[in-house]
Amino acid sequence: MTIGIIGAGNMGGAVAKGLAAAGNIAARDIFVSDIAADNLKRLQSEFPQLNCSQDNTSAARCDVVVVAVKPWLVEMILTEIAPVMEAKQTLIVIAAGVNFEQIFAWLPEQLQDMPCLRLIPNTAIAVGQSMSLFSTNNVGNGLQEQILSLFRPLGEVVVIPESKMSAGTALTSCGTAYALRFVRAAVEAAVEMGFRPEEATRMVAQTMKGAAELLLQHRSHPEEEIDKVTTPGGITIKGLNAMEAAGFSHAVIEGIKASQCVSSSK
């Protein structure tokens, strides 16, 4: 199997790095295209065996074609590569708010039966820790499993209805930024309390990682794990109450809902 990735920016580049590093597909079978030569040079400096080109049609001839560009560029890219594509190929589109109806409207008649997936990963795919959301169209169970198996080494994968993709994008893709904004705030507090930024960042990041693992391994509700560290009359409950008084939970909820509105309008 060969995989073509059109777009080597933050997301397309992360997908290319993740797939190459995972090793379940050889780097020499990954073809990456981008108009920006610098993006391609950065990729090849880490993975010299990647096939990199500024010609999108080179990636568009692969068995699986991943379009990882800004939403407003998807129509232009699909129009460009459609003449060299065949219905037996598999198309994966990574672009918030671009739905199947739009994708197939931009494809010619001979590609209307093409298997197509929408994929929303997050940038942690570059280090094998993505939360990747898939929706499918014209995809049989066998092909779906084959595609999912490519991405499982890069983190968690979930198949959801397209109707939930906008909400999922706000939760998992935008969610990376929200988690990191908490880390930044916690580091700022730590610096005020006397820690150096680099050691504070390491401590907070590991704490976040450990908290996430508790939920993933125990399959528990967050409040259950919170209760384990919240002693009556203790320092944790005082901190939690102070955060809630400042609107912490409300701010998180409203931020995620606002991101859903933005992604669904694109």
Mean pLDDT of all residues in 224-235: 96
> Which CATH number does the domain housing residue 239 bear?
1.10.3730.10
Residue 53 has pLDDT above 90, yes or no: yes
Which residues face 118 on adjacent strands? 93, 135
Single pTM value for the model: 0.88
- State whether 174 and 154 are in the same domain: no
Give the pLDDT score at 266.
Answer: 41
Domain boundary among 136, 160, 184: 160
Gap between the Cα atoms of 162 and 256, Å rounded: 18
- Do 153 and 37 lie in one domain? The reply is yes
Q: What is the gyration radius of the CA atoms in the chain, in angstroms? A: 21
Residues 59 and 174 in one domain: no
Does residue 84 sit in the same domain as residue 37? yes
- 115 shares a domain with 11: yes
**How would residue 262 be classed by pLDDT, with cut points 50, 70 and 90?**
low
Tell the burial category of 178 from Cβ atoms under 10 Å away from its Cβ (0-12, 13-18, 19+): middle
Mark which of 114, 142, 160 sits at the end of a domain: 160
Per-residue confidence at 148, pLDDT binned at 50, 70, 90? Answer: very high
| CATH number, residue 95 | 3.40.50.720
pLDDT at 77: 97
Q: How far apart are CA 229 and CA 225, in angstroms?
A: 7
Band of residue 265 on the pLDDT scale cut at 50, 70, 90: very low
Task: Give the pLDDT confidence score for residue 55 in this predicted structure.
Answer: 96
CB-CB contact of 166 with 97 (8 Å): yes
CA 44 to chain centre: 21
Tens digit of pLDDT for each residue in 42-51? 999 999 999 9
Are 24 and 87 in a shared domain? yes
Residues 94, 208: one domain?
no
**140 and 182 share one domain:** no
- Both 197 and 259 in one domain: the answer is yes
Helices 248-265 & 174-192, crossing angle to 10 degrees? 150
Do 188 and 250 lie in a common domain? yes
**Residue 245: pLDDT band by 50, 70, 90 thresholds?**
very high
User: For residue range 159-217, what is the model confidence (pLDDT) as tens digits?
Assistant: 999 999 999 999 999 999 999 999 999 999 999 999 999 999 999 999 999 999 999 99
Measured from the Cβ of residue 2, the count of other Cβ atoms closer than 10 Å reads 17
Q: Which of 108, 140, 160 is at the close of a domain? A: 160
Domain count for the chain: 2
Q: Are residues 140 and 193 in the same domain?
A: no
Rounded to the nearest 10°, the torsion over CA 247, 250, 251, 254 is: -160
CB 137 within 8 A of CB 100: yes
Residues 151, 173 within the same domain? no
Q: Which domain holds residue 256?
A: 169-265
